Amino acid sequence: MKKRFSYVLFSLLVIFGGIYFFQCKEGNTDINTQKKNPDKTIENRYYRQIVYSFVSSAENSSTDYEEQYSYMEDIQDGRGYTAGIIGFTSGTGDLLEVVKEYQKIKPADNILVKYLSPLEAVEGSDSHEGLGAAFEEDWEKVGQTKEMMQAQDNIVDKIYLYPAIKFAEEDGLGLLGQYIYYDALVVHGPGEDPDSFNGIRKEALKVSKSPSQKGKEAEYLKAFLKTRTKIMVKEEAHQDLSRINFQEQLINQDNFELDLPIHWEMYGDEFRLSEQDIN
């Protein structure tokens, strides 16, 4: 009798274990597990929202990044107009790339097309020549349209997000490293000079081994941030090291997976991001 009971119990365990296995395989697990893509990159919508919120807290003093597409002002940092979801600028030329992308998406009735030539002319300066109040008004008109939002997202991916993932994977970094690289690309640009992202990365790799070189992730990321700090303090607009401090906070908390909730301070403002804030 005991043997028969044991056999039945074993059979039931096998059956239900198999059902559970195939449910998991098909993705029928808890909703919080479903939200996190196994590929673990910030391209995934779940992690993209987290990283966009972090950057928006620095660029726009708000984690509501979806409301920032129509943003534009001259913040007097020597880069001319700062605009959009990550602070594209007329001085560095990525704002021009956004308007070009918008023209591709919306070639007809594009009220921004007339600003292409002026944007090309002011690249490398803080000039508003050919732009001014008219440009600001037209940008605000189209800023929250699906075409402009798509144009900005495309340029973010092309110039900043995809390169951040690529270099982070080369260096053996996870989600936190991808965010740290992305933020550095947004602020410093993807150039090769010492003050740009690639220059900062090369210098950091000279003083610390990345995980792909058998180094420790925390030590390498701290070396990267230390190198970046030297570049940040050269500019008056970046004397406040809130971005660096927050990223060091995540390293010290061993939050390499960007697990929520997360509390942080950015330029004197307090922020909190939880699962309920991610849709």
Cα–Cα distances in angstroms (integers) from residue 185 to residues 26, 147, 200, 221, in the given order: 37, 24, 10, 15
Structural class in CATH, domain 45-277: mainly alpha
% residues pLDDT > 90 (the chain): 82
Q: For the chain, what are the domain ranges?
A: 2-35, 45-277
Pairing outcome for strands 81-83 and 88-89: antiparallel
pLDDT of residue 12: 43
User: Above 50 in pLDDT, residue 113?
Assistant: yes
**Measured between alpha carbons, how far is 80 from 90 in angstroms, rounded to an integer?**
6
Neighbours of 207 (CB within 10 A): 12
**Measured between alpha carbons, how far is 274 from 259 in angstroms, rounded to an integer?**
9
pTM here?
Answer: 0.85
pLDDT bracket for residue 7 (50, 70, 90): very low
User: Above 50 in pLDDT, residue 37?
Assistant: no
pLDDT of residue 15: 46
pLDDT of residue 219: 98
Check if 77 is active-site: yes
Q: Pick the catalytic residue from 30, 39, 43, 59.
A: 59
User: Above 80 in pLDDT, residue 35?
Assistant: no
**Measured between alpha carbons, how far is 220 from 167 in angstroms, rounded to an integer?**
14
Residue carrying structure tokens 């008056």: 236
pLDDT per position as a tens digit, 224-264:
999 999 999 998 777 899 999 999 999 999 999 999 999 99
**Measured between alpha carbons, how far is 261 from 92 in angstroms, rounded to an integer?**
34
Q: Pick the catalytic residue from 77, 195, 219, 277.
A: 77
Check if 73 is active-site: no
- What average pLDDT does the segment 2-31 reach? 41
* Maximal CA-CA distance, the chain: 93
**Measured between alpha carbons, how far is 41 from 164 in angstroms, rounded to an integer?**
10
Decide: 165 and 245 in contact? Cβ < 8 Å. no
Pairing outcome for strands 269-273 and 88-89: unpaired
State residue 76 phi and psi, 5-degree precision. Answer: 60, 40
pLDDT per position as a tens digit, 154-208:
999 999 999 999 999 999 999 999 999 999 999 999 989 999 999 999 999 999 9
Tokens describing residue 271: 């922020």
Size (the chain), residues: 279
The amino acid present at 20, given as its one-letter code, is Y
